[in-house]
Amino acid sequence: MRPNRSDVVKKQRKIAAIIATIVVICVIVAIYFGCTDDEEEVRITGIRTIDVEQSHFDLLFDNHGEVSFDYVGRQVSVYVAHFEYYELVLHELVSRLEFTRAQEFTGNLIWGITTNGGSLDELRVRINVVDSEGGGATHQGYFDFSTLEFELGALINPTILREPIERSERYVFHVRQTGTTWWLDDDWFDPEVLAENAQTVLLYIVFD
């Protein structure tokens, strides 16, 4: 007995509907798991400074520290900024790690400064990261302070303990100032604060 034509058509339509549903679900899943490439999916989950006890680094640097972080993003950068009062006279990238897409990473920034007599000498930094699958990357950077003609001045290593962290925010981990006023202020880039000091050097880290 041959099947009824209408029954065959109904069966074909049911099969087509099931296949279409599967395709739609696959597309939605692909979009969901691929959305980390979108700009809005870049986010930071945590950052903090580490209390550095006396160590072998004391033999290498006059001042040093560590910043620990975990985040989802594409880029980690370290900069040095030099101000004469509130005028920015130098802004330079010291080190940067870049990735092709947003990924979850845990890492740290290790930095150290040497001095020469009464002046700053050089800065050395190292960024280390490890992803959720155990892969890792590192980048080292160097900055020559002698080009600034900057005296030692007063210094502070600000405590960073914020979660969540704003993307592209400048997180200062070391400050040098020469002048009559010393500010313990979260906004180190405030023109009013900078204007009170003849010179200011800020070292900071940025996540994008």
What DSSP letter does each residue of 147-186 carry, written as one string? GT--B--EEE----EESSB-TT--EEEEEEEEES-----S
At residue 164 the predicted structure's pLDDT band, cuts being 50, 70 and 90, is confident
Kindly report the average pLDDT of the chain as a whole number. 75
What pTM did the predictor assign? 0.74
Give the model confidence (pLDDT) of 42-97 as tens digits.
Answer: 444 577 776 555 555 555 677 888 898 988 888 999 999 999 988 999 999 999 99
Residue 195 above 70 pLDDT?
A: yes
Whole-number percent of the chain with pLDDT over 70: 67
> Which of the residue ranges 13-27, 166-180, 188-202 would you say has the lowest mean pLDDT?
13-27
